[in-house]
Amino acid sequence: MKNLFSMLAIFLALAASAQKNSLVKLKNGSAIRGEVLKNDTTGVSVETKDGSLWNFSATEVLSIEEGSINVNSKGFYNRTSLGILGGSEIGISLRTVNGYSFNRHWEVGLGVGVDRFLWTPYIPIFAEGRYSLLTGATRPFVSAHAGYELPLRNLEFNKGGLTTGIDLGVTHYFSNHLGISTSAGYRFAILKENSMWWDDFATISQISRFEIRLGLVFR
C-alpha cells in the first residue's frame, strides 16, 4: 500500500509539471507558453517551464489559448501500472505493456509483470486489447487481456496456468505524451500444481480477484 501511495505522489507531481501548456498571444505578434497564474482586468501573469514570470497588461494581450492536448492517433506507447488484487487474499501487482495505437479508439499490446496468487509470485505474460470511448484528453476505456502465469517458486511442481481479465477505467492526458490511467477490474486464473507425492495427482485452483490499478502512460 505504501508503494502505491508513493507512485501516486510521483504521478501527481509529473501531472502538475505537465499542465503548463497555455499559449498567451500578444498584440505585437509574439507569444509565450506557460501556466497562466493570473488573468483579470489588471493583466495577465504567466510562469514558463524554466520558472520565469512574465507580466502583461490587459491591453497587451490578444488572446489566451488553453493548453490543447493532441495525443497521437497512431503510434507506440508504454503503460506501466501498479495494482492491488483483492478477494480472499490481498496482493500487489506490477505490470508494464508495450503496444501500438491504430487510431484514437483501438490499441493492442503485449505485457509482462509480477502478480501474487495463493501467496506465490507469478510472472504474467499476456496480450491486451483496449477500446477508448472518447478521443479527447480524458478517455474512458474498456480493456481485456489473456495470457499465462509463470510461477517463480516450486517450479518442479507448480505449473502456473491461464489468466484473463477485464478492466473499466479512465486515462487522462496532461500533455501529448504523458497520461495517468486508473481502472477497476476482474481477474481470473486457473493454476495447476502437481503433487510432490503422487505423480498422477494435481491440484487445480480457480482464482477470482478484483483489482484496482494506477498507471502512467507514455507515448
pLDDT in tens, the chain (219 residues): 555 455 545 545 554 444 456 788 888 988 888 888 888 888 888 888 788 899 999 888 888 876 656 677 789 999 999 999 987 778 889 999 999 999 989 999 999 999 988 788 999 999 999 999 988 788 999 999 999 999 988 777 788 899 999 999 999 888 778 899 999 999 999 998 876 666 667 788 898 999 999 999 998
Q: Where are the beta strands (DSSP E) in 103-177?
A: 106-117, 120-132, 138-151, 158-173
Question: Residue 104 in contact with residue 131, Cβ under 8 Å?
Answer: no
Taking CA atoms, 63 is separated from 19, 23, 28, 60, 174, in Å, by 18, 8, 12, 9, 22
Reported as a single tens digit per residue, the pLDDT across 38-95 is 888 888 888 887 888 999 998 888 888 766 566 777 899 999 999 999 877 788 899 9
Q: What is the CATH code for 72-218?
A: 2.40.160.20
The DSSP secondary-structure symbol of 190 reads E
| pTM score, whole prediction | 0.70
Sign, Cα dihedral of 51, 218, 106, 182: negative
Q: What is the pLDDT of residue 216?
A: 93
* Neighbouring C-beta atoms of residue 1, cutoff 10 Å: 8
Question: Which regions of the chain carry the CATH code 2.30.30.100?
Answer: 22-65
Say which CATH architecture domain 22-65 belongs to. Roll (2.30)
Sign, Cα dihedral of 148, 154, 158, 164: negative
Question: Which regions of the chain carry the CATH code 2.40.160.20?
Answer: 72-218
